[in-house]
Each structure stands twice: as structure tokens, then as C-alpha cells.
């Protein structure tokens, strides 16, 4: 019996996936559990394994193509086994010729069109039935309903003028572009592109699409407010230097960010009202601190999680951050390594940014934005002296954290960083 290969949800937040490459070609033998393809999710590149065995009879989404979760992207069947028509058009993308090169018939290439139209018989307009109805694949009809597209208004590009998935997607993209243009103010004098202007349009990756969607979801519904504290880092840096002398004996080294992660995690155990999720009808407070650490990657941002950060030493935190960050940049993180954080930290201090505000990662209720550590003249012990200072801004979800609660948490964090021995008390 034929096995349909579906685009699986390979991450908890995945809505669609992009086929990076197929590891099997049409008519290659496939064993159950064998890796079929590499799929780029919204977070990482994952392996898609076969749920059946036989021959890879059809590839419906070519390398470079995308498909929503649940869509059939390939079919596995025994040699000579008759398989039902695919739900949509033939493959598109860099490997669009793969199925045709394997010798599939025109009826197979139409992939679900039923009987092929005879192009030599001009009985009616292309893409319409004898009754005047638009001919469209089941998937394109479903997508059109979901996305609010009038399928009757579309010009089909499939076999015989049939409306297929790509026609619906093109209509959605065109509508989005038009809405964006309508929302823009009138052009500024001189803003129009010159005929010889050089530019490049960069396609969105799955990660960039997800980052954009999550930011809109956060800044829109989540009522942010911000608290900033200025911290004297002199003793924290001295303590870090001493710790690194010890860690260096085993090849370890703790960064300033590792120190902040540890201090913030311990502070959150004293202020569980900030270590919480907004649940719609309830607030979930956590006893353990799972710290999300924002990591910049070439096409976006991902937040690996240091679990039980409050209970780990600087050496363990440092090694874990380095390992997770390296795998994040290689797109090799597993879902459990970037989900389940209870609070987050974003640090741009290494870029010389003095102060900024972070965007909360729902359902979390807070995030720390860490600025640069720098020497500044300040009043100290009755004199103006140079001290090493750092600003941290906390973004709070006002549905979960009140101003006084956030302020008390920052006061505790400040006390830990200004006197690191206090963490041990």
C-alpha cells in the first residue's frame, strides 16, 4: 500500500517547511526510518524520515520548495503498484524535472487533474469546465478558502489552465504587496529608484518569517513596559577574573554574559512572579529557571535554553552556552534545546550598544536587554572617579509583572552583580 510522505511538524512552532534537499531520487528504494530529506524549519534544519518502505515513486515538492505542515510532499509505493493521483500540481523549483525525467505520463505530471484536456479541441476557455466552473486542485481550493482568495478570479497556470497551489500563493503575495503599498505614505521627493539603481531583494528564510511573525505577535498583544538599572560591574569583573584563573586549568572560561545569566537566574528564584508565563486565563509561575539566551545567526535569531540555570555553576553555564550557540549557527539544535524557557536574556554589549529594549518572547513575561560594560565617570565615596558600569533594561509584560515587582527583581540582580558573594548567601 502506498505511503504518503507528509510535511511533518519538526518543531513545536513550525507551520511550514522548506525542502533543503532530497537524499533520495525518484525510484530509489526506501526503508522505514531512513532519512528522505533535509527540511528547514523555523528554527533549524531537521531530517525527515520515511514512515513506510518501498520505492520513492513521486516527489511533489522539489528542493527549494515550501509546503505547509500536513501537506503530502512525496509518495512511497512498491514497484508497479498503482498509486492515486497526487493532490496538487507537479513539482516546482530546482528539481522540477525530476519526476518527468523518471518517465511519468502526462496524466501523472498533471498530478490530480483527473483526465487531461485535449488541447486540439477548443471546446471552452482554458481552466473552466463545461458548466463554466473554475478548474482547480483540491489543495488550491482549500488554501484559497483559508487565505480569503477568490479562486474564480485567478488565472490558472497548471495543466489545461487549472488553478494550482502556486496561483493561490502568488495571489496572496500580490495582495500583501498591494496592502503594504496602500499603507505607505506618499513617496518622499527623490526617494524613487533611479533607472540605474542597483539592489538585491533577499528572500525570507523560514527562520526570518517566524522571527517577523513572533515579533508582531509580541509587540501587538503584549503590553510592554520597561525598567532600566545602572550597575557597577567592578567587583563582578574582578570575581570573573579570579574564576577564570581557576577554570583555565581545565580549559574553561566564563564570559560577562555567563555571570549575568547566573546572577539573573538566582535572582529569579527570589522573585518567582517574574519567572512566569501568561496563560490567558492564568499566570504560571515556575520554581525552576530555564534561561533563554538570544543568539544571532546569519538569517535571524534563536534562543537556546539553559535549563536549571539557577542550579548550575559558571563553568557549566559557559560550556553549555558555547555549545548551544555553535549548534544554533549550524542549524543543528533539537526542539527541546530552544523551547521551554521561562525568562530570556539578550546581550548586545559586545557591539558597543550602551542601552536597548528587548521584545518579550511569549508566553514569557520578561526579558533582559544587556548593554556594554564600560568605564564612566561617576560619583563614588564623595569623589568623581572612573568606574566600570553597565545598563540593563528589563521588558515586562504588564499582565504578569507589576512595576514594583520588576523593580524589586532588578534591585536583587543589581545587588548580586555589585557584590557577587551575595549569590552564595
Domain final residue, candidates 182, 197, 222: 182
Q: Half-sphere exposure of residue 51, counting CA atoms within 13 Å on the CB side?
A: 13
Q: Give the CATH number for residue 146.
A: 4.10.320.10
CA dihedral for 171, 177, 178, 179, sign (positive or negative): positive
SS3 state of residue 59: strand
Domain membership of residue 253 (yes or no) is: yes
> Is pLDDT of 270 > 50?
yes
Domain final residue, candidates 92, 116, 140: 116
- Taking alpha carbons only, the member of 3, 54, 47, 44 closest to residue 23 is 47
Higher pLDDT, 387 or 186: 387
19 shares its domain with 100: yes
282 shares its domain with 402: yes
CA–CA separation, 411 and 190 (whole Å): 50
As a whole number, mean pLDDT of residues 33-45 equals 87
> Is pLDDT of 96 > 50?
no
216 shares its domain with 177: no
16 shares its domain with 44: yes
Domain membership of residue 395 (yes or no) is: yes
Residue 424 has phi, psi (to 5 degrees) of -80, -10
Instruction: Supply the pLDDT for residue 195.
Output: 73
Encode pLDDT of 115-132 as tens digits.
333 333 333 344 554 445
As a whole number, mean pLDDT of residues 100-112 equals 38
Q: Give the CATH number for residue 367.
A: 3.30.559.10
333 shares its domain with 391: yes
Domain membership of residue 240 (yes or no) is: yes
CA–CA separation, 347 and 358 (whole Å): 9
Domain membership of residue 121 (yes or no) is: no
H/E stretch holding 346: strand 343-347
275 shares its domain with 353: yes
Instruction: Supply the pLDDT for residue 157.
Output: 84
As a whole number, mean pLDDT of residues 327-354 equals 93
As a whole number, mean pLDDT of residues 287-304 equals 92
216 shares its domain with 163: no
Instruction: Supply the pLDDT for residue 102.
Output: 38
Q: Give the CATH number for residue 50.
A: 2.40.50.100
264 shares its domain with 154: no
How many domains does the chain contain in total?
Answer: 3
Backbone region of residue 308 per phi and psi (left: phi > 0; alpha: psi in -120 to 50; beta: other values) = left
85 shares its domain with 156: no
Domain membership of residue 194 (yes or no) is: no
Whether 71 and 143 have beta carbons less than 8 Å apart is answered as no
- The fraction of the chain above a pLDDT of 90, given in percent, is 47
Domain membership of residue 191 (yes or no) is: no
For the chain, the average pLDDT equals 83
Domain membership of residue 197 (yes or no) is: no
16 shares its domain with 46: yes
Q: What is the set of active-site residues?
A: 398
Domain membership of residue 190 (yes or no) is: no
H/E stretch holding 387: strand 383-397
348 shares its domain with 236: yes
**Across the strands, what pairs with 32?**
none
By residue range, what is the domain housing residue 164? 131-182
97 shares its domain with 227: no
Amino acid at each position: 500500500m502506498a505511503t504518503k510522505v507528509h510535511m511533518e511538524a519538526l518543531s513545536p512552532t513550525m507551520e511550514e517547511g522548506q525542502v533543503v534537499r532530497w537524499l533520495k531520487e525518484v525510484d530509489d528504494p526506501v526503508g522505514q526510518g531512513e532519512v528522505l530529506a533535509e527540511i528547514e524549519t523555523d528554527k533549524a534544519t531537521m531530517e525527515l524520515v520515511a514512515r513506510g518502505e518501498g520505492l520513492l515513486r513521486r516527489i511533489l515538492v522539489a528542493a527549494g520548495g515550501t509546503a505547509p505542515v500536513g501537506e503530502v510532499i512525496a509518495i512511497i509505493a512498491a514497484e508497479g503498484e498503482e498509486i492515486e493521483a497526487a493532490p496538487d500540481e507537479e513539482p516546482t523549483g530546482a528539481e522540477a524535472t525530476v519526476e518527468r525525467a523518471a518517465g511519468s505520463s502526462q496524466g501523472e505530471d498533471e498530478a490530480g487533474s483527473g483526465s487531461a484536456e485535449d488541447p486540439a479541441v477548443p471546446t471552452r476557455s482554458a481552466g473552466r469546465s463545461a458548466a463554466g466552473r473554475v478548474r482547480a486542485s483540491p489543495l488550491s481550493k482549500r488554501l484559497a478558502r483559508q487565505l480569503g482568495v477568490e479562486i474564480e478570479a485567478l488565472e490558472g497556470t497548471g495543466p489545461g489552465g487549472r488553478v494550482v497551489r502556486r496561483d493561490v500563493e502568488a495571489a496572496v503575495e500580490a495582495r500583501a504587496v498591494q496592502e503594504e503599498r496602500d499603507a505607505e505614505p506618499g513617496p518622499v521627493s527623490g526617494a524613487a529608484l533611479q533607472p540605474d539603481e542597483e539592489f538585491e531583494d533577499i528572500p525570507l528564510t523560514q527562520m526570518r518569517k517566524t522571527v517577523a511573525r513572533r515579533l508582531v505577535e509580541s509587540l501587538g498583544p503584549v503590553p510592554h513596559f520597561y525598567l532600566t538599572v545602572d550597575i557597577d560591574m567592578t567587583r563582578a569583573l574582578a570575581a570573573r577574573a579570579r574564576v577564570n584563573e581557576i577554570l583555565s586549568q581545565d580549559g574553561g572560561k566564563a564570559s560577562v554574559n555567563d555571570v549575568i545569566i547566573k546572577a539573573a537566574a538566582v535572582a529569579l528564584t527570589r522573585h518567582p512572579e517574574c519567572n512566569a508565563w501568561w496563560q490567558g486565563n492564568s499566570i504560571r509561575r515556575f520554581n525552576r529557571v530555564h534561561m533563554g539566551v538570544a543568539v544571532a545567526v546569519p538569517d535571524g535569531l534563536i534562543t537556546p535554553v539553559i535549563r536549571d540555570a539557577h542550579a548550575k555553576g559558571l563553568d557549566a553555564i559557559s560550556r553549555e552556552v558555547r555549545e548551544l550557540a555553535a549548534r544554533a549557527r549550524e542549524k543543528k539544535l533539537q526542539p527541546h534545546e530552544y523551547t521551554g524557557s521561562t525568562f530570556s536574556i539578550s546581550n548586545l554589549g559586545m557591539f558597543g550598544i550602551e542601552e536597548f529594549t528587548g521584545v518579550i518572547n511569549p508566553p514569557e513575561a520578561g526579558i533582559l536587554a544587556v548593554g556594554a560594560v564600560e568605564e564612566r565617570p561617576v560619583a563614588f565615596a564623595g569623589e568623581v572617579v572612573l568606574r566600570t558600569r553597565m545598563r540593563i533594561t528589563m521588558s515586562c509584560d504588564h499582565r504578569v509583572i507589576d512595576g514594583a515587582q520588576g523593580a524589586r527583581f532588578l534591585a536583587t540582580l543589581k545587588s548580586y552583580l555589585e557584590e557577587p558573594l551575595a549569590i552564595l548567601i
